[in-house]
């Protein structure tokens, strides 16, 4: 109902030329054209504030605001709470949400951490004049060096990933996002010398040629998993969980299982693709070990295996168990991690912020003296280059970005992914909408974004007098905290500002 819509579509009539571009662009049927009155008609209730119409209005005549209508203010029963009560009493359903949790009361620890810089006692290094290395290796290291009978060192390193910058693209499946999104990610990963992750929806054949920059996922639904799939990647990720919905499976509606999505997922057209909450062959850590071994066996021990888990309360022992399962890399997805669709209560109440998770896992693996056996990829709310630097200083080897990457492709975080009507052509399979993203232009945007971040990372490193990324990893003295309590400092392993 328009009276209670979240947003209002506003028009400066004097600027409007009735070109009806907004009508064409709105995929949520929030704007239509009345032929009789020759005017725009707004269905405010349909508006998601995706900013597509605003972006395409040639005269800047449109703007979206919050609905000024105000519910009786109540500190406990806020407008958000009331809206949720109304929806549930009307629909009887679980509340759905998309993208990462905006929970306001959960601290964003990155914003409480400050970085160091060199002054006098050691020199800062100018990245424009001196080499500044961001090349990153992810994978297991052997326990000891080995020498041949000739006394020379033997290369006993195991298969690993080689990144030019410590930033990967997070898993986003074909089905949840369009093929064009995956094409953009794959092309960008190739240009940047990093990796994209195809998620759990299988790998479209047109992407096989990016195998040197591809990570394929094996999730609980096992969609699209076959021998060629596994061997068309540089690494295989076993997805146990996701930061936006720890402990919860997935559900791609039959409406999206059409054409190539169906073929790639190996799910009949029109049938819902349901990812069970657990892997039904992993009910325990020793089962994980068997799956890791099976995947390595299937790929001739040529590819590192990543195990992705959501950050939950006992993440440290979980990570320790994974490190001992034969996995080469642990991907930890934090509380703020994005999603195409998740139950809102789960998204906003389950899990741990990535900063805490990385800090405790890194320390735990060191305490157990197995930190060198695995690499850590952190994700879930990495918004900018300083988040990357801070995550690395806390103990991650690399980060992966999903939401930030989607923003480079046009996403404005309207969080309506689950509707399938994404006006930017990202989280949709509607052929008309999908066309809105040109994969080459998208790839260019992604390359520019990650290159910009990498440049900033180099500036920051240079300021600290560090000229190689490995000297930043776990370097917690490079961080100081403000506005945190002693317990938080202890868990993050960081000193207070001024200490």
Cβ nearer to other proteins, comparing 294 with 372: 372
Residues 6 or more apart in contact with residue 202 via CB below 8 angstroms: 174, 223, 224, 225, 229, 264, 265, 266
Cβ nearer to other proteins, comparing 316 with 409: 316
Cβ nearer to other proteins, comparing 430 with 475: 475
Cβ nearer to other proteins, comparing 291 with 378: 378
Cβ nearer to other proteins, comparing 121 with 228: 121
**Largest distance between two CA atoms of the chain:** 90
**DSSP single-letter state for residue 468:** B
Least Cβ distance, residue 111 to other proteins (angstroms): 21
Cβ nearer to other proteins, comparing 124 with 290: 124
Least Cβ distance, residue 231 to other proteins (angstroms): 24
10 Å Cβ neighbour count for 477? 11
For residue 315, give Cα distances in angstroms to 330, 334, 443: 11, 10, 34
Dihedral sign for Cα 42, 100, 404, 432, please: negative
> 378 near 62, Cβ under 8 Å?
no
Least Cβ distance, residue 139 to other proteins (angstroms): 9
H/E element, 479: strand 479-481
Residues 6 or more apart in contact with residue 424 via CB below 8 angstroms: 50, 52, 409, 410, 411, 412, 436, 437
Strand 375-379 and strand 398-401: the pairing is parallel
Least Cβ distance, residue 286 to other proteins (angstroms): 26
Cβ nearer to other proteins, comparing 111 with 162: 162
Cβ nearer to other proteins, comparing 80 with 135: 135
Least Cβ distance, residue 142 to other proteins (angstroms): 7
Least Cβ distance, residue 119 to other proteins (angstroms): 10
DSSP code per residue over 151-174: SPBP--PPP-EEESSSEEEPB--B
Cβ nearer to other proteins, comparing 128 with 153: 153
Question: In sequence order, what are the beta bridge partners of 310?
Answer: 333
- Separation of alpha carbons 393 and 479, rounded Å: 7
What are the tokens at 299?
């790929």
Least Cβ distance, residue 141 to other proteins (angstroms): 6
Residue in this structure with the two tokens 């971040």, named with its chain if needed: 453
> 442 near 184, Cβ under 8 Å?
yes
For residue 304, give Cα distances in angstroms to 31, 238, 276, 290: 49, 11, 25, 15
Cβ nearer to other proteins, comparing 130 with 269: 130
Least Cβ distance, residue 372 to other proteins (angstroms): 7
DSSP code per residue over 267-280: --TT--EEE-SS-T
> 424 near 191, Cβ under 8 Å?
no
- Separation of alpha carbons 35 and 23, rounded Å: 13
Least Cβ distance, residue 370 to other proteins (angstroms): 9
Least Cβ distance, residue 472 to other proteins (angstroms): 7
Least Cβ distance, residue 130 to other proteins (angstroms): 6
Cβ nearer to other proteins, comparing 345 with 366: 366
Least Cβ distance, residue 463 to other proteins (angstroms): 10
Cβ nearer to other proteins, comparing 264 with 386: 386
Least Cβ distance, residue 302 to other proteins (angstroms): 17
List residues near other proteins by CB under 8 A.
118, 121-123, 125, 130-131, 133, 135, 137, 141-142, 144-145, 147, 152-153, 155, 157, 160, 366, 369, 371-372, 464-468, 470-478
Cβ nearer to other proteins, comparing 76 with 120: 120
- Separation of alpha carbons 7 and 412, rounded Å: 15
SS3 25: helix
CA-closest candidate to residue 368, choices 323, 312, 429, 420: 323
> 181 near 417, Cβ under 8 Å?
no
């Amino acid at each position: 109902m328009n009276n209670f819509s979240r947003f209002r579509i506003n028009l400066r009539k004097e600027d409007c030329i009735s070109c009806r571009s907004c009508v064409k662009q709105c995929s949520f049927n929030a704007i239509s054209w009345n032929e009789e009155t020759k005017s725009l008609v707004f269905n405010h209730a349909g508006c998601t504030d995706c900013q597509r119409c605003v972006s395409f209005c040639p005269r800047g005549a449109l703007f979206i605001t919050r609905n000024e209508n105000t519910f009786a203010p109540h500190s406990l029963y806020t407008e958000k709470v009331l809206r949720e009560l109304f929806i549930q009493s009307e629909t009887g359903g679980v509340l759905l949400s998309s993208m990462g949790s905006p929970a306001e009361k959960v601290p964003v620890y990155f914003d409480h951490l400050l970085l160091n810089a060199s002054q006098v006692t050691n020199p800062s290094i100018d990245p424009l004049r001196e080499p500044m290395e961001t090349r990153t290796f992810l994978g297991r290291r052997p326990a000891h060096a080995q020498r041949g009978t000739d006394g020379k060192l033997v290369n006993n390193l195991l298969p690993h990933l080689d990144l030019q910058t410590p930033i990967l693209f997070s898993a986003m499946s074909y089905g949840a996002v369009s093929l064009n999104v995956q094409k953009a990610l794959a092309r960008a990963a190739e240009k940047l010398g990093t990796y994209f992750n195809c998620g759990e929806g299988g790998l479209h054949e047109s992407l096989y040629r990016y195998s040197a920059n591809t990570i394929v996922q094996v999730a609980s639904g096992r969609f699209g998993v076959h021998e060629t799939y596994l061997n068309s990647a540089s690494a295989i990720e076993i997805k146990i969980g996701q930061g936006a919905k720890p402990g919860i499976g997935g559900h791609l509606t039959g409406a999206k299982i059409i054409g190539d999505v169906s073929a790639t997922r190996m799910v009949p057209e029109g049938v819902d693709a349901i990812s069970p909450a657990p892997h039904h062959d992993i009910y325990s850590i020793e089962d994980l070990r068997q799956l890791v071994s099976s995947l390595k066996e299937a790929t001739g021990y040529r590819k590192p295996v990543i195990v992705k888990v959501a950050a939950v309360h006992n993440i440290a022992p979980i990570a320790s168990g994974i490190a001992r399962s034969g996995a080469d890399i642990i991907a930890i997805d934090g509380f703020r991690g994005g999603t195409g669709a998740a139950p809102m209560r789960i998204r906003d109440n389950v899990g741990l912020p990535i900063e805490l998770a990385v800090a405790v896992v890194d320390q735990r693996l060191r305490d157990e003296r197995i930190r060198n056996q695995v690499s850590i990829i952190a994700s879930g709310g990495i918004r900018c280059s300083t988040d990357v630097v801070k995550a690395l200083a806390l103990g991650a080897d690399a980060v992966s970005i999903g939401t930030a990457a989607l923003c480079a492709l046009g996403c404005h975080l309207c969080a309506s992914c689950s509707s399938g009507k994404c006006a930017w052509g990202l989280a949709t399979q509607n052929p008309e909408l999908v066309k809105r993203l040109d994969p080459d232009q998208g790839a260019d945007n992604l390359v520019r974004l990650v290159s910009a971040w990498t440049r900033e990372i180099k500036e920051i490193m240079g300021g600290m007098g560090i000229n190689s990324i490995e000297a930043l990893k776990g370097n917690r003295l490079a961080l100081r905290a403000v506005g945190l309590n002693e317990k938080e400092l202890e868990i993050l392993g960081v000193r207070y500002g001024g200490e």
